[in-house]
Amino acid sequence: MAEKENAEDHIPTGIEGLDALLYGGIPAGNQVVVSGGPGCGKTLMCFEIIYHMAKRGIPCAFIAFEEQENVVVNNFKKAFPSFSDVDALMEKNLLVVDGADVSSKMHSSTESEAYSFGSVISSIEEVVRANNAKCIVIDSLSLVKLVFSKPNLYRRYMLALALSLKKLGVTSLLTLELEHTNRKEASFGPEAFVFDGTLVMYQDLEEDKRIFSIEVVKMRGSNHSLSFAPYEITNKGFRVFTISEA
Ligand SMILES: Nc1ncnc2c1ncn2[C@@H]1O[C@H](COP(=O)(O)OP(=O)(O)OP(=O)(O)O)[C@@H](O)[C@H]1O
Ligand SMILES: [Mg+2]
């Protein structure tokens, strides 16, 4: 095996430059926090990753907490017109976009936070079981943080979510808003410690332009690049520019 390639249990994201940073992909079963500032492309990139997986025959699900399902799908189609078979993959149940049930449970938090969080987890499990998803996106953890906000309990909830996702055996991408979006000031909350992996999408200002870059900060069970790489959102999807490493 080449030094910069991981074992076959890594699932390629289908975004070439990102797979180069990940030395082949995400270890199957890992839970990866995808964090970044507003509009850096968290939702689109996670959708693109499961789109590529669904195209390879892997059933996937996108759980949308913050936007309506049809809005998420339409934004993706508008951004990337060349990914024209989204509907076909959805009809085949390889790509499921859901979340209404989970969102309503979250917004109707009743007497006990712990009970409500338990029912959010059950709803996520139902979505996963519906098409036997092997990879899921939860967009976003930030809303969970807002609703289940007691700081000493939030970490426990995250641990419970991590345990439940492990039991389900799914590979997961969990989006998260980052308070400081430039690389020098980036700091990490409990999510970065609880879950297996952390990808960070930075926005740095360079003269009169905003420069996007992505970094693998952590990936349990895997070797990965320690470099960060600039990226662009194009109408053919994400382009991550990696340089060859010595
Ligand atoms: N075809 C395109 N080409 C270039 N950029 C695009 C294209 N389509 C969308 N974008 C960019 O993608 C951004 C939206 O991406 P996305 O919704 O994934 O961001 P996000 O990080 O999830 O944002 P939020 O924090 O609001 O959830 C827009 O701000 C826009 O700059
Ligand atoms: Mg988003």
232 pocket-lining for ligand 1 (C-beta < 6 Å): no
Q: What is the pLDDT of residues 59-78, one digit of tens each?
A: 999 999 888 999 999 999 99
Q: Residue 2: pLDDT above 50?
A: no
What is the CA(64)–ligand 1 centre distance, in A? 15
Cα–Cα distance for residue pair 126/121, rounded to 1 Å: 9
What length is written for the chain? 246
φ and ψ at 204, to 5 degrees? -115, 145
What is the CA(73)–ligand 2 centre distance, in A? 12
What is the CA(44)–ligand 1 centre distance, in A? 6
Residue tagged 């990490």 (tokens) = 188
Pocket test for ligand 1, best of 15, 44, 49 (most atoms within 8 A of CB): 44
Structure tokens at 97: 């976009």
Number of H helices, E strands in the chain: 9, 11
Residue 200: enclosing H or E segment and its boundaries?
A: strand 197-206
What helix, strand, coil percent values describe the chain, rounded to 5? 40, 25, 35
What pTM was estimated for this model as a whole?
Answer: 0.94
Domains of the chain: 15-240 (3.40.50.300)
Residue tagged 């055996």 (tokens) = 169
What is the CA(152)–ligand 1 centre distance, in A? 33
Average pLDDT over residues 163-192: 94
Cβ atoms of 40 and 181 closer than 8 Å: yes
Structure tokens at 228: 């960060």
Q: Residue 185: pLDDT above 70?
A: yes
Cβ atoms of 51 and 83 closer than 8 Å: yes
Structure tokens at 131: 């098409």
Residue 243 vs residues 68, 76, 147, 224: alpha-carbon distances, Å: 38, 28, 41, 14
79 pocket-lining for ligand 1 (C-beta < 6 Å): yes
> Hey, is 25 helix, strand or coil?
coil
Residue 153 pLDDT: 86
Cβ atoms of 4 and 22 closer than 8 Å: no
Nearest ligand to the CA of 44 is 1
25 pocket-lining for ligand 1 (C-beta < 6 Å): no
Q: What is the pLDDT of residues 100-122, one digit of tens each?
A: 667 676 666 555 676 678 888 99
